[in-house]
Structure 1
Amino acid sequence: MTVEAVMKAAVVTQAGASPQYLDFPEPEAGPGEHLVDLVAAAIHPVVRSKATGRHYSSTGAYPLVPGVDAVARAADGALVYVGGVREPWGTFAERIAAPLAAPPARGCGPRGRGGRDEPRQSSWMPLTTHVEASGAPGTVLILGPTGVAGRLAVQNARALGAGRIIGAGRGAEALRDVRGLGAETVELSGDPQADAAALAARLDGSTPALVLDFLWGTAAEAAFGALSQMPGTDAVDYVEIGSVIGEGATVPASLLRSRPFRLSGSGIGSFGMRDYVRRGRDYLQLVADKRITLDVHAFPLDRVEDAWANATGPRTVLTAT
């Protein structure tokens, strides 16, 4: 009788449950995959959402190991960034069967790499796509700049040469920190009409070439209202990334007809994992060069329950036990 090999992993046993440090079957490397050992993996918002079963990409099958990407160590000792792991396995495990891997940038510690991936990719992907197609944007509007991903979006836009960055969100103190990163700010009230007027006043006739929206809901409706007031017919590339405020938002028909207006999304399913890894390699060099900064709070894998409960503050990273 064959004895199934097991490893230690963070395991979610049912929808809504927190992961526990348990035994889980060790993955077998399939075609094009290689077994690697965990070094560091971040608990991104998308990881939490997928683990609950509420994310649009969730399969609803349990038990599972969460985690969408990681820094790992290959058999030859080299560090690699990995993603695209087959479910029910994820990256919060001692071993990972990795189909996609890229060498990380030199000069960037593994914990930093693990803590900076998915949150930065959510804005890095649409930003680099826009720059490749149209050049550096003159003005970037970021809805929701106060979270980890939003703050990285401000830094990413600055690193890619945006002429002007405007962040709109809640919390005077948090917005003050965003201004310290080089953005102008608008404090949202939750009233779409009032917020549209405030955004239009801050834009002052400068149509944003790119909008990165981590909020959606009434914040998006405020942005649509402000954009409708912008003079001229400059093109707007509007990218929906998150839905912190709500899943629905009304788009005015007049806005769609008044200027070139492209509405798209950035998330799992909207781009290929190979492109994700390729662009990620370029980004990690910015981290290594210290042009992008982010606080990281590291927990060993066997303390995954404590790490999972650490929902606020610095980016939470799991490391090999």
Structure 2
Amino acid sequence: MKAAVLSNAGGVPVYGDFDEPQVTEGRELVELVAAGIHPIVRSLAAGTHYGSTDAYPLIPGLDAVARTADGALVYTGFVQAPYGTLAERMAVPTRMRIPLPTGADPARIAGGLNPGLSSWLVLRERRDTLPDQQLGTVLILGATGAAGLLAVQNAFALGANRVIAAGRNPSALERAAGFGANTVTLQDDKDATASVLSEAIGTEAPSLVLDYVWGAPAEAAFAALGRQGLTEDDADIAYLQIGSMAGAEAAIPAALLRSRRITISGSGAGSLSVQWILAAIPEYTQLLADGRLDTAVQEFPLSKIEDAWAAAQFGVTRVVVVPD
């Protein structure tokens, strides 16, 4: 079959031939309709993600909209390495067979579901744990990528009364402002970033921080979230580390952990229940299908995978691969 084939960790996938996937017990063969090139797809392929197998050659791709043997359109994934979803056909678990709503655009689902769920799951869980089920203020670091812009919309959809969107891309920040967010431009200087974040946060500490970048911006956020005094903290901050585009490490000040009621944890593949993720997919798929969330996609045929791979590095518009 034809597929995007990656020969080594530092390379770019090319359009070529790959062995047909083997359909084992509990799996079924489906045909590609649309598959997104998400940041996690690129990092898994490059061997820089903790989930990478480092076995080459491989077919990249994590999830897809596919057509089953009976003609149904489904959202699916969990393909076994070295296979991925950027191929004409894939063998997927029969349990991972989530029907698309009638009239849904497969490209929008393939492009928006993975990045959108990265915030939807934690936002919804956080809301449900709060006494009044009100999110209050949500701070998003890295709000100018596709996932970050969906996080802004998700936060408002789940009842946040204020969203602070921090990022570098001016046009994407304008889009975030159009969704209703207060925007902050991340600075090259960490202290300057801490200052503008502190000003944006003001006296109302966020109930939730979604961090797509980590590194120096995270350290600036920690400084902005710090407080003085020995009085009991009346805030309750959940800090979720989701991505690390700005660096794999960040120093956490001891004073922040001791002076604030704050929990810092991660959210990603391995830390989340698969059943919990699967249960949330139909609800979020419907939101995308109804057009209640704005997600931009750019389609490339599978045979133009090199062009698609290059375009996917910019992040604001989700790149989706479709059959030729």
The TM-score normalised by the length of structure 1 is 0.93
SS of 1:116's equivalent in the other structure is helix
Contact 1:68 1:84 in 2 (8 A): yes
Contact 2:226 2:260 in 1 (8 A): no
The answer to whether residue 262 in structure 2 is matched with residue 261 in structure 1 is yes
| Structure 1 residues 222-278: Cα deviation after superposition (integer angstroms, max 9, x where no partner) | 111111138933111101111121111111112112233211112222213332232
Displaced runs of 4+ in structure 1, greater than 6 A?
A: none
The 5 A counterparts of 1:288-303 are 288-303=289-304
In structure 1, the residue matched to 2:175 is 177
Aligned-partner Cα distance in 1 for 2:86–2:170: 35
The code of the aligned residue for 1:153 comes to A
The code of the aligned residue for 1:10 comes to A
The code of the aligned residue for 1:117 comes to L
**Among candidates 302, 315, 321, match of residue 318 of structure 2:** 315
SS of 2:97's equivalent in the other structure is strand
In structure 1, the residue matched to 2:273 is 272
The 5 A counterparts of 1:56-135 are 56-99=50-93, 100-134=96-130, 135=133
Aligned-partner Cα distance in 2 for 1:224–1:157: 21
Contact 1:115 1:316 in 2 (8 A): yes
Aligned-partner Cα distance in 2 for 1:320–1:274: 30
| Structure 1 residues 270-290: Cα deviation after superposition (integer angstroms, max 9, x where no partner) | 213332232122111111221
| Aligned-pair CA distance for 1:36 | 0.9
In structure 2, the residue matched to 1:159 is 157
| Aligned-pair CA distance for 1:293 | 1.1
| Structure 1 residues 12-52: Cα deviation after superposition (integer angstroms, max 9, x where no partner) | 11111111111111112222211111110001011011111
The code of the aligned residue for 1:107 comes to G
The code of the aligned residue for 2:107 comes to R
Stretches of structure 2 lacking an aligned partner (at least 5 in a row): none
Contact 1:65 1:91 in 2 (8 A): yes
In structure 1, the residue matched to 2:146 is 148
Aligned-partner Cα distance in 1 for 2:184–2:175: 13
The TM-score normalised by the length of structure 2 is 0.93
Aligned-partner Cα distance in 2 for 1:132–1:78: 34
| Aligned-pair CA distance for 1:124 | 1.6
SS of 1:117's equivalent in the other structure is helix
Aligned-partner Cα distance in 1 for 2:257–2:12: 43
Contact 1:9 1:301 in 2 (8 A): yes
Aligned-partner Cα distance in 2 for 1:115–1:186: 26
Contact 2:101 2:289 in 1 (8 A): yes
The code of the aligned residue for 2:33 comes to V
| Aligned-pair CA distance for 1:151 | 0.6
| Aligned-pair CA distance for 1:106 | 2.9
Equivalent pairs: percent with the same residue?
Answer: 50
**Among candidates 177, 197, 200, match of residue 198 of structure 2:** 200
| Aligned-pair CA distance for 1:176 | 2.2
Q: CA RMSD in A?
A: 1.6
SS of 2:26's equivalent in the other structure is coil
